[in-house]
Amino acid sequence: MIGWPARRVMVTGGGGFLGRFVVRRLQAAGVSDVFVPRSADFDLRTADGIRRALRDGQPQIVIHLAAVVGGIGANRENPGRFFYENAIMGIQLMEQARLAGVEKYVQIGTVCSYPKFAPVPFKEDDLWNGYPEETNAPYGLAKKMLLVQGRAYRQQYGFNVVHLIPVNLYGPGDNFNPGSSHVIPALIKKCMDAIASGADHIDVWGTGTASREFLYVDDAAEAIVLATERYDGADPVNLGVGREMTIRDLVALIVRLCGFGGEVHWDPSKPDGQPRRAIDTNRARERFGFEATTSFEDGLMRTIDWYRSRQ
């Protein structure tokens, strides 16, 4: 168990969507020394940038959130970049953190690492039972290699690496850029833009039959801080709510909450992505007491209200 107040914590990606919530949760837990290496000052894709960040921050704990991410379209357009930058950043950061004497390293993985046809709900023991869904595979495999690295470092060096696997996140402050956003912010923006322009329909990728599970960003931050404080195991741990929703139902809900009265035009020529995605959350509850508390509709309304307030 970690005694928080005396610990120095480095949070990569701490200025990003999830990172801002994690930093606030750490501060609420009593951590006064949180170091966030900004990309303008430290290029974490390079060993030199990582070494300088570790030297300046002098962390005892590293929480690695920084990642190059996007929705299905961005994954299709940038498979090489998404693989290389996520892999090289994580591999080098873990190695340099070990060499710098960091006590604990918390790696944030991705649900995209799961096999395309893993039994639902996804259990952590099924991670290796198949190849990921093709559009997400380079990103998912890059993250999965960091699970391999963490286990190898634990075995050879006794390095305390924890691997957490969140499902799709959403919430205020999400990325609403249509070129790189995930499904919830993309749909909210489509609806709000259609309302503003008076359009009579929105276009949505796929057939709507695929399912997804969504975790509110502040619940994810709570889980990460709990795991950092309470969990020291080698086993990867899912972070989610344990419930899935079809994309068709998701679209209908967002359309209603946004107040858009037009039609939804589906484009089945575009990919659905992984057919189903929902996780087993028992391990997180058993190992460090995490259960999500934000209802999906409440979380969506907070996200929509946040986006609307900035237009």
Q: Measure CA of the first residue to CA of the last residue in the chain; give whole Å.
A: 44
Query: What is the number of alpha carbons within 13 Å of residue 219 lying toward its C-beta?
Result: 24
How far apart CA 179 and CA 211 sit, in angstroms, is 22
How far apart CA 217 and CA 189 sit, in angstroms, is 18
Q: What angle do CA 276, 116, 87 make, to 5 degrees?
A: 120
Burial class of residue 216, CB neighbours in 10 A (0-12, 13-18, 19+):
buried
Q: Which residues are catalytic?
A: 139
How far apart CA 112 and CA 146 sit, in angstroms, is 13
What residues pair up with 33 in beta bridges, in sequence order? 8
How far apart CA 50 and CA 37 sit, in angstroms, is 9
Return the closest-CA partner of residue 292 out of 215, 184, 213: 215
The structure tokens 């509709």 sit at: 297
